[in-house]
Amino acid sequence: MVTLYRPGSSLWHLLATGRKALVLAALVLAISLLPQAWGRPTATIPAALCLACYAVPGIGLRVLLGQLVAMRWILIVTAVGQLIFLGPGPALVNTTRIAALISIAALLALTTRTTDLLDAMERGLSPLSRLRIDPQRVALLLAVTLNTVPALTRAAGQVREAQRARSARPSLRRFAVPFLILALKHADELGEALTARGVR
């Protein structure tokens, strides 16, 4: 499965996962707490911080541009709502602030391997074991979930092709029932396979 991680050796890549998460969370929090009453600076400070975060050697502004393109729909919907209800000035300030906020937070997934993030989460969530939640079982659930995605993608493709072969127009309703039954059968097989391997 393709993850959001981009290999590299920038400052962000070198930072330990837990520390990096804390730094980014602090930045996000600081930006969120900037008083609205300041007007322009509530947009320029986040924008400057965001540019500084991405200007670090090894990442670059091209990656930032890619991030902004990827979140264009969220930004457009936000900007339109702001324009209608608040007018152009606040719309510009708030949309810029949100774009900066999301881009800064995106650095975590961009520069950390998914396995490292999962490990860090496991460590962070270790107090959960006091609530009688078995971390191994959580790990098993996440691993199984990840493995169902390719199988289910294949099942979705099969259903679509079968319907195209019968020249049915693509419709969500006609797609959903056969897809769900294939998925549930896959779940039954998966359950049997897990039971056979001694998972209770």
Partner 1 sequence: MDATDLARVAVFAGIVAVLGLPGGFSVFGAVPITAQTLGVMLAGAILGPWLGALSMTALLTLVAAGLPLLAGGRGGATVFIGPTGGFALGWILGAFVIGLIVHAGARKPVWWRTLLGIVVGGIGAVYAIGIPVQSAVTHLPLGSTALQSLVFVPGDLIKAVIATLVVRTLVRAYPRAFRREWARTSRRRSEGARSQAVGSRPVGSGR
Residues 130-189 touching partner 1, rule: CB under 8 A, are 137, 140-142, 144-149, 151-153, 156, 170, 172-173, 175-177, 179-181, 183-184, 186-188
Residue 102 in the binding site for partner 1 (CB under 8 A): yes
Stretch 12-31 residues interacting with partner 1 (CB under 8 A) = 21, 28
CB 19, min distance to partner 1, A: 15
Which position among 30, 51, 55, 194 is part of the footprint of partner 1 (CB under 8 A)?
194
Which position among 114, 126, 129, 158 is part of the footprint of partner 1 (CB under 8 A)?
114
Count, residues in the chain: 200
Amino acid at 136: Q
Which position among 53, 82, 96, 100 is part of the footprint of partner 1 (CB under 8 A)?
82
- Residue 178: phi and psi, rounded to 5, are -60, -35
Residue 98 in the binding site for partner 1 (CB under 8 A): yes
Which position among 61, 70, 162, 168 is part of the footprint of partner 1 (CB under 8 A)?
70
159 within 8 A of 182, measured Cβ to Cβ: yes
Contacts of 28 (CB under 8 A, 6+ apart): 101, 104, 105
Stretch 40-69 residues interacting with partner 1 (CB under 8 A) = none
Residue 86 in the binding site for partner 1 (CB under 8 A): yes
CB 48, min distance to partner 1, A: 19
CB 95, min distance to partner 1, A: 8
